[in-house]
Structure 1
């Protein structure tokens, strides 16, 4: 390999192993490659500016802010209350509430961490009080939270759309069936756990109580309709939809629910900026990384190597899924998408995989990575909310991980599973 290739591969891996954050390890590896190749260091600054001037990137902080505003404005509590009236009387009903509420909240925030925090903060204590094992309560909040990357609008699909230069709207649609299937699988896990552990059922809600909860939740339920209806109705782009979602959350929180205050807004904005800043920084600096990888033809060479050594398409997809799962256990999922994106796309092209279908495969992997031990983002949120150790939550979450792997298998090997709704996006 050339000096550039060594710096971008072994050099970058070494920095990560020494504990450098990805947003710092990437530019250091690029700088070393530039010095080794005697390229003007200003290249890195130009690449960062180029990588940060993409209109679609605005959707990331805006959707994260929308999730913060919805939670502070009481809309997540309204969703939980309404979902509770629908299923709390069933075996595993309160755990099912977490899944149903997370499904709707995912269509508001587009973020797995935001969904886990919003739903888990309410339901982990409630489930523990109702007789559920606290580790299971945390694990179901974590696994329900990862519906965020699949249910549109999704930040992960926005990032992959930027990396792969594909329609973000079509990618959103590709996540609907996998996301809803995962939600259904999690409902089954809730039922089996509650029945096996003889968790007592809660009383059935009356029709009046259900109607009252629905009436109170109508503004929360209306947000996905406004956002997704606007995108697929051609009224605004996904990025503009993120801004509309923020405006909707502010207006409802301030003037309808009246739980959001002007004094709270700076803190909410700062929290959203802190969360999205690292993601956007990784994407910006990775532009130079991608340019150098393309220059060295690393992605193309690897794709050719796979094609020469793996003849079957199904086997290549299996190898990619296994590699992604192992990488996601020790590496940031966003960094995997951005850094390895060109290589992944080259492999998909080499084996003739539909780019939208491939996007669904990648983001389903990302969703699993958000909950997979040992460094899934949502696991740490579950730890903070429940007060439990990583080991306890990790032991409890494996049934949900198996359900996620089944959804990944269906998404990978049945293209129609992800593409069946595509005519609606055209």
Structure 2
């Protein structure tokens, strides 16, 4: 009963716009004191320190900083020009450029919000100027940005890997196929809208223009190849790859493109610090909430309740997806992971479900939650850039959300798409 009261209070605090990290820490500490006495505060402090000081979490600020350096150092614009030279000649090509660049940016920043903020400020005005509706421009930018949750190096996967004590590198590898399927589906939706509304083509295809754009973007393209190649080859861990990403972004921005000065560097550094502090506060306070839930035996009780309904693994996976979809609608991605993982992880182990497989399911559910109001952090960011009402954009966004949902079903019931690729790479 005490655990239910704490969870209800948490939801109430979030609904009245109390910062999620503060809300999680407050209800967890109050719950521990109420059930275990005032001495529990010492345990809460230790849990926060241990939860936020895991070495693997060091990759979060590094990837966030690398994404900020990309945006301020001229790297993002060159990637846009390169992808435009490849697919711009197709009808509705600028929307496909949006999806393609989001894939590349996702392989560096790992953050959907950073993706939509960085690319949306460039691509949404450009799409509107070329005759695309504001709602469609916001929808494709928002949905394609959520590929950052699936494609490595996903920040939610890093948080999940640290909490579930599973290999972050293997989680990254497992997300590649699902990310590519999601991107392919979004390309298809873009083409459908392009034909339906007679959207414009960009410049005609030219090998010379492609070569010029490739030369200009060559050093920018080394970033995703270095990160992904280093992880897939086993040469680098996720944390080491994050450090290399920052180093390369700095070298490329300062010495090759020469667009980074002290003012822009300070701006990128502040973006990285701000983005990291929000996530790390969530991670630290989540450790306290996890400790409280464990002391109250909530995971064990939930596992018993679900197993009393069905012990069939695929039925349980369906129930978990429904739960995660509901949680994702009302909570930000990191908070959804923090709230659900300590509760469902014992059930996952008891049923013999591969935690890597569940991690991909979790990431896909979060990507859908980022597109579904009322919280929809990524969608709201895109709408604010496009200056469009969130519900109008959601109507257009329905097909893109449908793509993510289909990929979720495939990842859930065809685990070979994710775990099979991990086995192929590592075994």
TM-score (ref. length: structure 2): 0.96
The residue matched to 1:204 in structure 2 has which SS? coil
Q: 1:24 aligns with which of 22, 27, 36?
A: 22
1:410 alignment partner in structure 2: 410
Which residue of structure 2 lines up, in the alignment, with residue 424 of structure 1?
425
* Structure 1 unaligned spans of 5+: none
Instruction: Determine the C-alpha separation between the residues in 2 that align with 1:119 and 1:14.
Output: 34
Counterpart in 2 of 1:38? 37
Question: Counterpart in 1 of 2:167?
Answer: 167
The residue aligned with 2:111 is 111
2:356 is the alignment partner of 1:356: yes
Distance in 2, Cα, partners of 1:38 & 1:69: 47
Q: Find the residue that maps to 1:146 and give its secondary structure.
A: helix
Offset at residue 39 of structure 1 (A): 4.3
Deviations 1:317-364 (A, max 9, x none): 112112211221111221110122111212222332111111111111
Gaps of 5+ in 2: none
In the TM superposition, what is the alpha-carbon distance from 1:7 to its structure 2 partner? 4.6
Measured in 2, the distance between the counterparts of 1:206 and 1:13 equals 54
2:237 corresponds to 1:237: yes
Deviation, structure 1 residue 13: 3.0
What is the match of residue 12 of structure 1?
10
Structure-1 separation of matches of 2:373 and 2:382: 12
In the aligned structure 2, how far is the partner of 1:120 from the partner of 1:19?
A: 25
> Is this contact kept in 2: 1:60–1:276, CA < 8 A?
yes
1:145 aligns with 2:145: yes
| Number of equivalenced pairs | 424
Which residues of 2 match residues 41-52 of structure 1 at below 5 A?
41-52=41-52
User: What displacement does 1:6 show?
Assistant: 4.4
1:186–1:403: 8 Å Cα contact kept in structure 2? yes
Would the aligned equivalents of 2:156 and 2:333 in 1 still touch at CA under 8 Å? Answer: no
Give, in whole Å, the separation in 2 of the partners of 1:174 and 1:55. 21
Counterpart Cα distance in 1 of 2:91 and 2:24: 49
**1:85: which partner in 2?**
85
Query: What displacement does 1:414 show?
Result: 0.4
- Structure 2 matches for 1:262-281, cutoff 5 A? 262-281=262-281
Distance across 2 between alignment mates of 1:17 and 1:67: 30
Distance between the aligned counterparts of 2:191 and 2:11, measured in 1?
Answer: 43
Within 2, Cα distance between the matches of 1:24 and 1:160? Answer: 20
- Secondary structure of 2:203's counterpart equals coil
Query: Which residue is equivalent to 1:155?
Result: 155
SS in 1 for 2:147: coil
**1:408 & 1:18 partners in 2: Cα distance?**
31
Instruction: Please give the alpha-carbon distance, in whole angstroms, between the structure 2 residues aligned to 1:48 and 1:85.
Output: 48
Greater shift after overlay, 208-217 or 371-380?
371-380
Residues 73-82 or 36-45, more deviating? 36-45
Cα separation, 1, equivalents of 2:350 and 2:72: 47
Distance 1:28 1:409 in 2: 36
- The answer on whether the counterparts of 2:91 and 2:191 sit within 8 Å (CA) in structure 1 is yes
Equivalence map 1:230-309=2 (5 Å): 230-309=230-309
